[in-house]
Structure 1
Amino acid sequence: IFLSIRAFPARYIPAENEVEYVNDMSIEIKYTPPSKPLLTNELYDLLIIAPSEFSDSLQPLVEHKNSWGISTYLATLNEAYSSPGRDEAEKIKYFIKDAIEKWGVKYVMLVGSANKFPIRLSYTYDGEESNFISDLYYADIYDADGKFSSWDTNNNDFFGEYNHNGNTDEMDLYPDVYIGRLACDNSAEVSAVVSKIIYYERSAYGGEWFGKAVLCGGDSHNDDGSVYEGEYTKEHAANYLNEFEITKLYASEGNLDDKSIRQAINDGAGFVDFSGHGNRYSWATHPPGEFNTWIGIDVSDVTLLSNTNEYPVVVLDACSTGNFKYGNCLAWHFVKASDKGAIATFATTALSWGYLGSSCIAGLSGYMDIRLTKHFSQMEKAGEVLANSIDDYLNYHSRMDKADYKTVEEFELFGDPTLQIGGYEGCSLSKPRPGYFYLFNKEVMPTLFGRTFIIGKIEIEAATATDMTKVDFYIDEELRHTAENAPYTWTWDEIAFGKHNIKIVGYKESGGTVENDLDVTIFNI
């Protein structure tokens, strides 16, 4: 249950030049539970929707997610199109709604570029651009009353309107699922990104390189010159990175250029944050007061990187670096780069706005930059980083105008919404999975009430991070097998009836152990 209350204890009356205010408020909340729960089951955590041509390339990711306890369902676009809706995008949104209510889905991954997967254009008019891509449309499933949010409350087929030809749609903008997109054009790109995700989640934990952060900024705006907005934003972002070794590349320090940025990433970094200006293909900023001088990087610099297996999360606080409407963009180029680049990026799909001077972090893109950094530092999953940052924005900014609406709508996660920031530690019992029925070692179907049933023998499998040296397998606290080489498996094939406990214990190369267990009901003669 989520309830948002906005109270305004004061108001100004211009005609009388008076301010009215209250000293205290009393709010009473009455809640009547629904006749039946909204979520009828918790079969799946992650829903992946993709063109059928990508299914084979995505299968290793499905298996990897399942092995780490992220129960995953892969749906084709054709399956999603079976839902009701006025067009393909709305059908997909209704499909996501059904997945939330029937399966308990919490994360949604959209796979495909604008040419491969339908996009929804938002018509939040900022005075410069009439429309832009917003995948928040696919995440904001319900309105403030719990009903389906069409983003077109006036039914004129223009979605997400704010001051568009005098029209404004009613939207609460709060994400109801954690969402991300892999903007792939072909199966080769899918395979490359899937490979990076799997390797990152299995190897990043404890890596020395992950504990490094790179902050890049300069003098963003030609104002009074006393505050260099990009650097000012990075200084405040750094307050959330106390556990990281920080490299600051600032235009005012004279150490910011394309070579220094590439070198810092190649040296290894878990987090890279840019604040400045951008377009589809590049990011840049200015030295203090030199607003005809540009310093930055573009897609060619990503191609020149050599940070194999050390992939940072990247924030691009700049205009349009995530605009994939017409094809490739800098944010996606970071992620799709094979064996280099980033593991995920947060970027805007259109022109973004920022305040001048020290107000640059009070709202708009500067505020989002700070919140993304904060939630990243808390090692949340990537989709949660974006959604929680949006929630923060909406909760903090009670009175929003067109620039606020656009800011919230245009930020995009290019990456896996279930990506475990910093990777997984230890090992996970990947087979059998909680809540499934197995018949002679084959996974047949989900069970009712989340119980695990097994008939016949079962091969027990452990998913492990790269620092595991061996795995012990226990049945009812009795050691039955030790596997010293990957893949770490053991076949349980003995007479067994009723309830038993399966436990695995993984031994880390650095010392220490990690345990994982599961209660099962088994019948094997």
Structure 2
Amino acid sequence: MKKALCLLVVSVLVVSGAVFATTATDTPPAAREKQTGAALQTVTASVHFDTPRMTADGHYLRVATTGATDVLRAQTTPLLPYRTETMTFPVGTSIGGVSVTYDRPQSMAVPGKISPAPLATAYNMKAADATLREGPVYVADAFYPDSWYDWSVGVGLDGRQHVLYLSVHLYPARYNPSTATLEYVNDMDITVTYTPGVEPLTTADEFDLLIVTPEDFSEALQPLVEHKDSHGVATRLVTLGEVYGGAFFDVQGRDQAEQVKYFIKNAVEDWGVRYVMLVGGRNGGLLEEKWWCPVRYSHLDDNSNWEASYLSDLYFADIYKYDNDEVVFEDWDSNGNGVFAEWRMMSKDILDLYPDVYVGRLACRNNFEVQEMVEKIITYETTTHGSDWANTFLGIGGDTFPIESDPYLEGELAISASADYLAELGVTATLLRTSDGTLSGSHDVVGAISEGYGFLNFEGHGNPMGWATHPPHDDEVWINGLKVGEMPQLSNDGMYPVCIVGGCHNSQFNVTLLNLLKIYEGYERWYEYLYKGEISPESFSWWLARKIGGGAIATVGCTGLGYGAIGDYNDDGVPDCIQRYGGFIDIEFFRVYAQEGKDILGEAHGTAVANYVQQFPPMKDQIDAKTVQGWVLLGDPSLKIGGYPS
């Protein structure tokens, strides 16, 4: 993170390969100017914010201003408007600096207290907590935020191009609770200086898809390699033995997971790989987990008292970071203490979190599952195109957080938003909702899925064993949607949807029946395995994907706690449940597919992650970081959504 003396702005600005983009639509067109001198180039822009307005909200006040893209939502800190601007440069560009000038700050008295941000609400089958809590900011004699702006540079993919993302976050209003003062500015001018890059990250174009697998599964994967090659997806299968043995590249890395990540880096640079399929899930292990293909755990502790770590395949996708004006390997251990993706107490790793390659995992535990997934992928890509069922959507949701003060039915709003985006492509929707009785139990879900749909979206609560939700405004009644024990009833053979699962832990693919044997850890810990659903033979999402004769072709969901938002705390008339956390990123997948034309599964998934990181800087809020880290794709990242024409 770097700071200069100001900030930025524009609706859309394209200059010498640089692109500015903002989500706001109500800001006047920004002034723009480009100056070129020698190799150094300059981009300037301006933005105007209206004078902040305050409105009463119970015991608190809310602040809003025209020109902001959202409100700061770091828990227990004041809800204040901010604006995010993202500028895209080719990799190789050198960012010389960012400076922002602004008019003289003005101040106004605050006749009360500005509302703290509400707690993010977990999809973990527990009652939602709408209590507003004031953190240390409220007793400090200082302005929050502590500066008018900040900026950061990330490295990621923009479609198929490796780029730098320069994100500038502008804070037009700052609050001092001790003096009850709001300080604000109306106009900001930004200057970005940079030197255009001369060399791309890679010019290689030998392979599109890299499959990383244990030797045990390699033979079963050969038909998939041949199928991909026949459809123009140049594929290279590499065994883990070849990775660890240095058959193609020098071995680097502290452990097997890091060795795989370095191999992916080399494959990107030397082969031009864009998609990576990791093949292999849990391989037993009682005292210590064993894996067919390595995994990485994020050690972000969100103080939920539920988990202090969780699986994150984003680790294998986030290959690069921008450090000291260079693009370097992102090891997810910026403090060098050997604890990856750490964020707890005073220890915090600063992470990039932009995908640099599109990663998906077939979490297979045996050859039978590998064979089943290979058959499903080939069947899907060769028979789906042009079928009526592929152009349909099934959404399943209810009242995720039935809080008396919150009028919104979060799950129903989310599936409706997903359906609205797909409708732009002519996709017809069926919605199962608790509010109208179309969702009354698992029989409704089993029957609907068995009819065959191209897209499937659950939005509610979950654990590794199942998914459920509430009827409107009733947190004591649970409506069971689907359990792993009911999946054998799904009969949509050959009609496999791409599935997004909104709920906690549905994609926690480390679960195992072996946890039943862990009574030696003590009764209290053993009981946790039971009520958390961690005794499931396999996770809900993976079971749905690898289901024989039905289920999904791939699933996307949370490996840990998933989070949602309640109310309308940014006062824009749109429920926050579809604008932040899990509600945003799940819907963003469908928006990216429908509006950006991302019809390769991994690209749609990875673009949704990148868009989330741009809009909600994850190093400012643990929940934003966890939202992208735990959102895993269990399926083929190179899958052609809708299949290939015959």
TM-based fold match above 0.5: yes
CA contact (8 A) 2:542 2:555 kept: yes
User: What's the counterpart of residue 631 of structure 2?
Assistant: 411
Separation in 1, partners of 2:581, 2:611: 12
Q: Which of these residues, 300, 314, 323, is aligned with residue 485 of structure 2?
A: 300
**Structure 1 stretch 396-405 or stretch 86-95: which is displaced more?**
396-405
> What is the one-letter code of the residue matched to 1:4?
L
Give the secondary-structure state (helix, strand or coil) at the position aligned to 2:348. Answer: coil
CA contact (8 A) 1:379 1:422 kept: no
Separation in 1, partners of 2:243, 2:279: 13
CA contact (8 A) 1:276 1:317 kept: yes
Q: Which of these residues, 420, 432, 443, is aligned with residue 249 of structure 1?
A: 432
Give the secondary-structure state (helix, strand or coil) at the position aligned to 2:347. Answer: coil
Q: Which of these residues, 555, 565, 569, is aligned with residue 345 of structure 1?
A: 555
User: What's the counterpart of residue 262 of structure 2?
Assistant: 94
CA contact (8 A) 2:167 2:614 kept: no
> What is the one-letter code of the residue matched to 1:172?
D
User: What's the counterpart of residue 383 of structure 2?
Assistant: 203
CA contact (8 A) 1:379 1:420 kept: no
Separation in 1, partners of 2:600, 2:371: 21
Give deviations 1:81-130, integer Å, cap 9, x for gaps: 23211000000000000001111111000000032111100011111220
- For the pair 1:41 / 2:204, whether they are aligned, the reply is yes
> What is the one-letter code of the residue matched to 1:123?
H
User: What's the counterpart of residue 233 of structure 1?
Assistant: 414
Separation in 2, partners of 1:19, 1:379: 42
Q: CA deviation at 1:376?
A: 3.6
**Structure 1 stretch 200-209 or stretch 255-264: which is displaced more?**
255-264
User: What's the counterpart of residue 80 of structure 1?
Assistant: 243
> What is the one-letter code of the residue matched to 2:485?
S
**Structure 1 stretch 271-280 or stretch 137-146: which is displaced more?**
137-146
Q: CA deviation at 1:215?
A: 0.7
Q: CA deviation at 1:39?
A: 1.0
Give deviations 1:317-350, integer Å, cap 9, x for gaps: 0000000122410100011112211001011001
User: What's the counterpart of residue 399 of structure 2?
Assistant: 219
> What is the one-letter code of the residue matched to 2:331?
S
CA contact (8 A) 2:402 2:409 kept: no
Give deviations 1:206-265, integer Å, cap 9, x for gaps: 101111111110111131252111111122222102111211100111111211111111
> What is the one-letter code of the residue matched to 2:267?
A
Q: Which of these residues, 244, 255, 265, is aligned with residue 449 of structure 2?
A: 265
CA contact (8 A) 1:39 1:101 kept: yes
User: What's the counterpart of residue 445 of structure 1?
Assistant: none
Give deviations 1:410-460, integer Å, cap 9, x for gaps: 0010100000000012xxxxxxxxxxxxxxxxxxxxxxxxxxxxxxxxxxx
CA contact (8 A) 1:9 1:22 kept: no
For structure 1, which runs of at least 5 residues remain unmatched after alignment? 426-464, 466-525
Give the secondary-structure state (helix, strand or coil) at the position aligned to 1:273. Answer: strand
CA contact (8 A) 2:402 2:470 kept: no
* Identity within the alignment, %: 39
Q: CA deviation at 1:25?
A: 1.9
CA contact (8 A) 2:393 2:419 kept: no
Q: TM-score, normalised on structure 1? A: 0.78
- For the pair 1:183 / 2:363, whether they are aligned, the reply is yes
Q: CA deviation at 1:18?
A: 4.1
Separation in 1, partners of 2:313, 2:223: 25
Separation in 2, partners of 1:177, 1:57: 24
**Structure 1 stretch 339-348 or stretch 392-401: which is displaced more?**
392-401
Separation in 2, partners of 1:215, 1:251: 12
> What is the one-letter code of the residue matched to 1:382?
L
- For the pair 1:6 / 2:168, whether they are aligned, the reply is yes
> What is the one-letter code of the residue matched to 1:354?
G
User: What's the counterpart of residue 317 of structure 1?
Assistant: 502
- Number of paired residues? 424
CA contact (8 A) 2:464 2:511 kept: no
Q: TM-score, normalised on structure 2? A: 0.64
Give the secondary-structure state (helix, strand or coil) at the position aligned to 2:194. Answer: coil
> What is the one-letter code of the residue matched to 1:318?
G
Q: CA deviation at 1:300?
A: 2.1
Q: CA deviation at 1:24?
A: 3.4
Give the secondary-structure state (helix, strand or coil) at the position aligned to 2:585. Answer: helix
User: What's the counterpart of residue 107 of structure 1?
Assistant: 275
Q: Which of these residues, 359, 362, 368, is aligned with residue 585 of structure 2?
A: 368
Q: CA deviation at 1:188?
A: 1.0
> What is the one-letter code of the residue matched to 2:625?
Y
User: What's the counterpart of residue 332 of structure 1?
Assistant: 542
> What is the one-letter code of the residue matched to 2:269?
E
For structure 2, which runs of at least 5 residues remain unmatched after alignment? 1-89, 91-162, 283-290, 513-537, 568-574
Q: In 2 relative to 1, CA 37–249 (structure 1 residues): closer, same or farther, beyond 3 Å? A: closer
CA contact (8 A) 1:233 1:275 kept: yes
User: What's the counterpart of residue 451 of structure 1?
Assistant: none
> What is the one-letter code of the residue matched to 2:417?
H
Q: CA deviation at 1:11?
A: 4.8
Give the secondary-structure state (helix, strand or coil) at the position aligned to 1:152. Answer: coil
Q: Which of these residues, 353, 357, 369, is aligned with residue 173 of structure 1?
A: 353
User: What's the counterpart of residue 373 of structure 2?
Assistant: 193
Separation in 2, partners of 1:415, 1:398: 27
Give the secondary-structure state (helix, strand or coil) at the position aligned to 2:444. Answer: helix
User: What's the counterpart of residue 30 of structure 1?
Assistant: 194
- For the pair 1:51 / 2:51, whether they are aligned, the reply is no
Separation in 1, partners of 2:438, 2:173: 49
Root-mean-square deviation (Å):
1.6
Separation in 1, partners of 2:222, 2:196: 42
Q: Which of these residues, 450, 460, 470, is aligned with residue 276 of structure 1?
A: 460
> What is the one-letter code of the residue matched to 2:333?
D
Q: CA deviation at 1:4?
A: 2.0
User: What's the counterpart of residue 152 of structure 1?
Assistant: 333
Separation in 1, partners of 2:593, 2:386: 16
> What is the one-letter code of the residue matched to 1:324?
F
CA contact (8 A) 1:6 1:398 kept: no
Q: In 2 relative to 1, CA 55–93 (structure 1 residues): closer, same or farther, beyond 3 Å? A: same
- For the pair 1:382 / 2:560, whether they are aligned, the reply is no
Separation in 1, partners of 2:451, 2:592: 24
Give deviations 1:29-68, integer Å, cap 9, x for gaps: 322435x542142111110000011110000010111111
Separation in 2, partners of 1:51, 1:32: 42
> What is the one-letter code of the residue matched to 2:193?
I
